[in-house]
């Protein structure tokens, strides 16, 4: 069973930055997609960003475009979400997701990902 090892998160003031990282315990897919989703209590889980390993195609939710950057380190099989200019609306539990090759239009859909992390809390508060 593939496990996703998440790190990062925590408490930050508005306008601050945080970095989340995620690495699968084993590489199941030769060409994979890694994504980040987030969820607040009482709301559905929403897409944040995704990246495809081969070619490096990325896709972002409009709410984070220009503030968040997703990248991969192929050697370490790690996906990193660099979050900047954070605001209180970014407060949520962030989940890493790992799946096979996805085209851009498939990336925002949770059904495209096969494995999920446990989630890490991000709190933006003064």
- Nearest of 28, 5, 1 to residue 120 by alpha carbon: 5
Return the bridge partners of 121, or none.
93
Query: pLDDT (tens digit, 9 = 90+) per residue, 37-92?
Result: 999 999 999 999 999 987 789 999 999 999 999 998 866 578 999 999 999 999 99
Q: What's the sign of the alpha-carbon dihedral 107, 108, 114, 120?
A: positive
Residue (of 16, 42, 23) closest to 97 by Cα position:
23
Q: In the prediction, which pLDDT does 19 show?
A: 97
């Amino acid at each position: 069973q593939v496990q996703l090892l998440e790190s990062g998160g925590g408490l930050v003031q508005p306008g601050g930055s945080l970095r989340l990282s995620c690495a699968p315990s084993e590489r199941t897919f030769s060409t994979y997609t890694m994504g980040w989703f987030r969820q607040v209590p009482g709301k559905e889980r929403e897409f944040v960003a995704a990246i495809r390993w081969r070619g490096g195609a990325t896709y972002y939710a409009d709410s984070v475009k220009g503030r968040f950057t997703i990248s991969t380190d192929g050697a370490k099989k790690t996906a990193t979400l660099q979050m900047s200019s954070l605001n209180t609306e970014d407060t949520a539990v962030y989940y890493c997701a790992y799946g096979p090759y996805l085209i851009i239009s498939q990336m925002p859909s949770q059904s495209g990902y096969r494995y999920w992390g446990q989630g890490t809390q991000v709190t933006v508060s003064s």
